[in-house]
Every structure is written in structure tokens, then in C-alpha cells.
A and B are shown apart, each in its own frame.
Chain A
């Protein structure tokens, strides 16, 4: 006899118990500080002073008149719009490539994943050397193909692409692993059946594998965008914000204004704007999920 209560709580109190550690941490380490910071964005909160006084929306007004803020926002959007499709596609292609079972395939999978375990600081440094004019590896390779290379990290037009390339190199392995996991969930019968029916490899990919991969694509894009909006370490190390702010991202702006200049209220206002931008994206993205993401076992 299922009571009404046990119908709305089919698993009893267990889920809540299991979520308890997470919820404790969530309130202590996330919501608490976050609210503090949000309130701070409406004050003249300063790094070197314990008290802060309410100043209303002054920080936000200043923010929208700030040229640096505009530049950082555009740079960040540029970064995300270029990085996410690139790394998603490449990760998917790589996963398709290594989705074989021959001896040594694990070696290749590890190699492609290896950059992801390097610390961003070392990646930034190594790549900034690779991009050195004339003697850096990148330009040396390019000149053997008779391409005259740009100055990369000191050219406002090429600094961001340089950073994006380094980011793709780093991230692709991680998303490849995710795609690989989903690829290996493709039921073998479907593949066999299509082969029996005489489908070409491209046909197989387009109509069987791709739809089944949509959850992985969904996830990769979502995480890619959210993490992309928060890019900091790699631009900080490689270009320190870039030739004439070409690689200054939103988070760098927040860091500089907040922790270097000490203007925490202003920085919190900027982070609130960043947060809202990401929230809007996520909500719209999730709402559009039904249109193209296909989960196995559902209609």
C-alpha cells in the first residue's frame, strides 16, 4: 500500500542524506561567499578597508562606461565563440579516430589526453616560447612551409588566435574522452544492421552515431562555454592581457580591478554581470535541448 507521501518521496529520505555533504558545502563555501560578493558589488568595498558603505548602482553605471570592460567582454565572447566549436569538433573527430581496438590504441588516447594534465601555468609559459618570433617552434615550422609568420603574441590581431590554439591543444583530450565513452555506448547491433543494409561509413556516422552523440555534444558545448567564459590562467601567463588588451578577458579585468587595484566592489559588479551572462546562456541552452539532443531510450 503506497501512501501518498511515499509516492512523492519514492526513495525516502536517502537522496537528501546523500546530498547532505554537498549541500553543506554549497551553503558554506558557495552561497555564503557569493552573496557576500553580490552585496559587495553595491558598495564601495575596498581591499584594504574592512568597512564598506552602500553606494547603490554606481559601480554598474561606471562599468558600462568603462572601455576596458567593453573590450574584455568582447574578447571573452570572441574566445568562446572560436574555441568551443573548434574543440568540440576536433574532440569528436579524435574520438572517432581512436575508437578502434588495436594494440597500442591506448597509447594514442593517453597522448592526446596528456596536455590536459599539465598545469595551465606551464602550458602558458611553454606556448609563449613556442610563439617567439623567428626562433620559436611554431614560426620555424611555418617558415618551412614558406608561410611568413606573424608576431603572434605581440600582434593584436594574432594574440587571441594564439591563445585559442594553445587552449584547443589542452582541452581536446578531455572532451575526446567524453566522446569516446559515448561512442562506445553505441549498440553494436545498430552498426552491424547498418552494415548489412549496405550503409556507407558517412551514412553510418550521420544517421546513427551523430544522433547518439548529441548528449555528449550538448555537454561538451555547455561546459566549454561556461569554462571558456572564465578563462584566466592561460591569458594571464601567456600575454598578461595581451598586446593592447587584445587578450584581456573578463576574469582578468575582474582580477586586475579587484585584487591588484583593490577595488573589490567594482570587480564584484563585473563578476555579477559575467554570472548573469552565463546564466542567460545556460537557461536558453537548456531550453533548446529538446530540439536536438537525443537520449537513448527516449522517444
Chain B
């Protein structure tokens, strides 16, 4: 098969897929820009008819968005730092060093993936209360500096520690 034709075929396929992947995101953007009266007719549209910024305006005014943004930025930054901290250390230890108990730690790390957050939520709340951390931002990022229960942290660590030649 002609190499050029092949290349264009792949390109075409990727474009179609792009459309499929983007469509929902585009749809939500459209809905955000649509005045609420037209919502009924615009639920399926990809591009907005009438554009309005009213929705953004009312969210900004009615909800304490500034506070929320600040909180999100603080938490996200510190969480990422903490996460990198403990996963890179642990990942290094698990993948590049050898020590008795290595397999156990690996298995244990994988098994903590399986604990859904809701299960430990109430005991965690009690723990935070004992530490005096209720109503502060600490519980959102301090655990990330140590080991903690998130379903995303462990896959990365485990992937890093898969046996490398």
C-alpha cells in the first residue's frame, strides 16, 4: 500500500477519534454559554446558538469562587509536592534497592488501592478531630506527604516499581 495514502488514512482516523473525544467537552462548553431558557433545546448542540456569559457571572457572584480557587490552588500545589515526596522515595526504594520485606511492602502497597475512601472516612474524621485539624485545609494535603489512601497514588508507585531488568 502506498505509504502516503496510508499516512493520510491514519491521520483521518485520528481526526475522527478526536471528534469523538472532544464532543462531550465541547458540548459542556456550549451548555455553559447558553442562556438557561434555551437549555432544553441546546442539550444536544455542539455549538451554541445564543451566547451569554450570564451563567459564569451568576456562579462567580453567588458562590464564594475566589475562596474556592485559592483553596484549590493551595491544596493542589501542596498535595503534588507531598505526593512527589513520598512516592518518589518509596518508588525508588521499591524498584532500585533490595531488602528483606520488599515483596511484602509491594503487595501491601497494591492492596491499599483496594480500600475505598468511604470506608475509612468516619474514622479519619475522628482522627482529624483528635489532631484539631477540622475546618482547616491540613487534612487535604498533609497525608499526601506520607502514605495515604488515594486510588491514583499507588498505581504510579507500583508502576515505577515493576521489576526492571
B-binding residues in A (CB < 8 A): 8-11, 14-16, 18-19, 21-26, 28-30, 32-34, 36-37, 40, 47, 94, 97-98, 100, 102, 108, 111-112, 114-115, 118, 122-123, 125-127, 129-130, 132, 135-137, 139-140, 169, 173, 178, 215, 219, 222-223, 226-227, 229-230, 232, 251, 254-255, 258-259, 264, 267-268, 271, 274-275, 278-279, 282, 286, 295-298
Contact = CB atoms under 8 A, between A and B. Distances in A.
A33 B121 CA distance: 8
B40 interface: yes
B76 interface: no
A120 to B, nearest CB: 11
15 contacts: A15-B99, A18-B93, A19-B89, A21-B145, A26-B112, A29-B143, A30-B120, A32-B123, A36-B126, A122-B28, A135-B43, A139-B44, A219-B158, A227-B113, A227-B151
A21 B25 contact: no
Contact of A22 (B21, B86, B123, B151): B86
B69 interface: no
Contact of B10 (A15, A100, A169, A295): A100
B165 A296 contact: yes
A114 B21 contact: yes
A137 B44 contact: yes
- Interface range, B side: 35 or more
B84 to A, nearest CB: 11
B2 interface: no
Contact of B90 (A22, A114, A129): A22
Contacts of B27: 126, 129-130, 137
Nearest to B19: A111
Interface of B: 7, 10, 13-14, 17-18, 21-25, 27-28, 31, 40-41, 43-46, 85-87, 89-90, 92-94, 97-100, 102, 105, 107-116, 118-124, 126-127, 143, 145-149, 151, 155, 158-159, 162-163, 165
Given A10-B98, A114-B25, A132 B18 contact: no
A42 to B, nearest CB: 14
Given A36-B123, A47-B122, A97-B10, A30 B115 contact: yes
A30 B14 contact: no
A15 B118 CA distance: 32
A226 B110 CA distance: 10
Given A108-B18, A111-B21, A275 B115 contact: yes
Q: Determine which residue in A30, A94, A130, A296 has the highest number of CB atoms from chain B within 10 A of its CB, and name it.
A: A30
